[in-house]
Amino acid sequence: MNSGEELQRLLVATLKGDAPIMAIANNVYDQIPTSPFGSKTAYISLGPVDSVEDDADCITGVSVTAQLDIWSRAVGSLECKNLTDLVRKKLHRASLALSDNALVDIRVTLTRVFRDPDGITTHGVIQVTTMVEEP
């Protein structure tokens, strides 16, 4: 499995497997459905992914940066800030493993929360940067 696909599967499984995160978020989506909020006021979606070759002597490596988006329609920004913080704490420097590739490092390098232009939705952005060693 390529490192980008395997990393995406790991991020989704890690977030969906976390009870406090899923108590707030309706789901984690790659393709956002027509009604993503369900019975809750928040959800998480996968954003852009960038990869940069990062080889070393005798090691094929890639630095992968993935964006996770938090969407909240709760009144105010507190729910979005709380969910963004839970995701940050779950992923930053986490002891996670890939099966086909080796996850060397995972860091949350940016979090940002702001009001969406619709005036209703609060949007959180989380940037996760990983170092993956490929076989």
**Do 83 and 124 meet the contact criterion of CB atoms below 8 Å apart?**
yes
Q: Which of 33-67 are b and which e, b meaning 16 or more Cβ less than 10 Å from the residue's Cβ?
A: eeebbeebbbbbbbeeeebeeeeeeeeebbebbbe
The pLDDT assigned to 36 comes to 97
The pLDDT assigned to 63 comes to 93
Residue 32: both structure tokens together: 């956002």
**Do 11 and 91 meet the contact criterion of CB atoms below 8 Å apart?**
yes
**Do 124 and 69 meet the contact criterion of CB atoms below 8 Å apart?**
yes
The pLDDT assigned to 60 comes to 82
Residue 92: both structure tokens together: 């930053």
Give the chain's domains with CATH numbers. 3-134 (3.30.2000.30)
Rounded Cα distance, 90 and 77, in Å:
20
**pLDDT tens-digit profile, the chain (135 residues):** 788 899 999 999 999 999 999 999 999 999 999 999 999 999 999 999 999 987 777 778 899 999 999 999 999 999 999 999 999 999 999 999 999 999 999 999 999 999 999 999 999 999 999 999 988
